[in-house]
Chain A
């Protein structure tokens, strides 16, 4: 990592205010992560969103070709 040669005036009050907001947004980051985790758990419980591991849905080649020709 190169040394950062910051040469602009970062302000005083503005820098402190940015740090305070950063701390709050940091909390929000964990809240969002927690919410995402809870939603994931519920999805798993009710079987929505994710498919059980090991099940692969195969589409026959001729059906894929048919779908492509329909697009044209």
Chain B
């Protein structure tokens, strides 16, 4: 029994890092411009396919591919922001929701046409790490490590650089930030780009150990919402910790009850946090 708990928990927590990374993208965009990015899922899926294409077509190492995917993700985020989000930013909330939902549908539609909905697989294995009852594939460990690295990068960017500070200022109070001479449009585009980049990177990392389809982003998008509520908005560390909690739960719960109870526990927690601490466990604001 202990063996099972240990191996389940380690599996869950390792995966939790990547959940956290995916949620960070959603959390950043949500926190800075109160836009709920419904295109988050397909962007994660695009990150998966980007890595897949570089790996299969160019024979690139998947981790190198993820770096390229990150750059492309950032650029794609700028485009998405410029085309669909910027114009409706000051309209009622429903407009941004609909705009990003439209992008979601377009991406899924194009993705289905190009890649079909059959699963793709980055056939890349680095073996597994064995430690007593625990067996963890190295690809997952590296993904967890990658998630930590990106968190550190994002945290230092937000807290120790001028553009990062500008993002936090705009998140806090856009009008005041504009009065201080911060070009809010550029800052918003940057945040959206960064959010998209994080989602794409998370997708790339996931692609190294799970097969995926263009629809695979959906479950991570849903988990990202829960994590955002758990961890609080706009705080990368909060998102990472939220991801770890979620991953840990996903590992731990099945050891004691049928796996189908996991969402019940997860979303139960979601409601509980909303009631008790609406700003999230590690909320910034």
Do A and B actually bind?
Answer: no
Which residues in A have some Cβ–Cβ distance to B below 8 Å? none
Which residues in B have some Cβ–Cβ distance to A below 8 Å? none
